[in-house]
Amino acid sequence: MAADQKGDHERVPLTINGQAIDAKVGVTLVEAAWDARLPGITGVGCLEGVCGSCRVMLRRGKEITLGLACQTFVETGLEVIFLPPSSAPRHHYSISDFRDSWDIHARFHAIFPEASRCRHCHGCVTSCPKKIAVEDGVALAAAGRYREAGEVFLECVMCELCDGACPELIAPAHVGLFCRRVTAHFHLRPPNLVTRLEELRRKRLAGSKGESERE
């Protein structure tokens, strides 16, 4: 609140996409870019840190970090670059092809052959705006512990910043999502849902039989 009131007089100098601007105190990088009427800021969606679109590179002196523009506040001297969308995925699979859960390990390594080559550089961890233990998640996945690996990625917003940071091209975000998906696909068979589906199936059957008998 204090910041809001101060914001009317005090300004924060910074650069966004190479343009020097003066922002209000306490606003996010997205709000600052808008206020300065910078063109081309369309990598923005939810404005609350869940869609992963507003990827930015941040430079403070020599230090370079990555982040989400809607969750980062303006700072004096900050240099901000809005990053282009990440490139198309290189790992392909279709979950409907997975019928047998016994060969999932082989499949995983066939789809993500790089995952077992993690060199523990922490690049993914330091780039993650959600502070996810990405590296541990990848290790769990490579060890076949899909459920646990998937749990690590619960808060992943698919910004794919970790993918860009990984020197081994492991695509950690997609590894994480794979793990979450196979866990549900193979193991989620909730009795309450299964029972209701069966009830509805019987009712439909009885319904169509009843109709033909009456006729």
Q: Which residues, numbered 30-89, are part of the site for ligand FES (CB under 6 A)?
A: 44-47, 49-54, 68, 70
Judged by CB, which is closer to ligand SF4: 32, or 156?
156
189 binds, among ligand SF4, another protein, ligand FES, none (CB under 5 to 8 A by kind): another protein
162 binds, among ligand SF4, another protein, ligand FES, none (CB under 5 to 8 A by kind): ligand SF4
68 binds, among ligand FES, ligand SF4, another protein, none (CB under 5 to 8 A by kind): ligand FES
Give which of 81, 61, 167 is closest to 124, Cα–Cα: 167
Give which of 63, 78, 62, 60 is closest to 19, Cα–Cα: 78
Among the residues of the chain, which ranges form H helices?
2-6, 29-35, 104-111, 123-127, 134-142, 146-152, 161-165, 172-187, 191-214
> DSSP readout, 134-167?
HHHHHHHHHTT-HHHHHHHTTT-----HHHHH-T
Give which of 89, 179, 91, 103 is closest to 134, Cα–Cα: 179
Which stretches of the chain bind ligand SF4, using CB under 6 A? 52, 118-124, 127-128, 130, 132, 134-135, 138, 153, 156-162, 165-168, 170, 172-173
Question: By rule CB under 6 A, what count of residues binds ligand FES?
Answer: 12
Cβ at position 124, least distance to another protein in Å: 17
The residue to which tokens 């077992």 are assigned: 116
Q: Which residues, numbered 59-118, are part of the site for another protein (CB under 8 A)?
A: 70-71, 73, 85, 88-89, 92-96
Judged by CB, which is closer to ligand FES: 80, or 142?
80
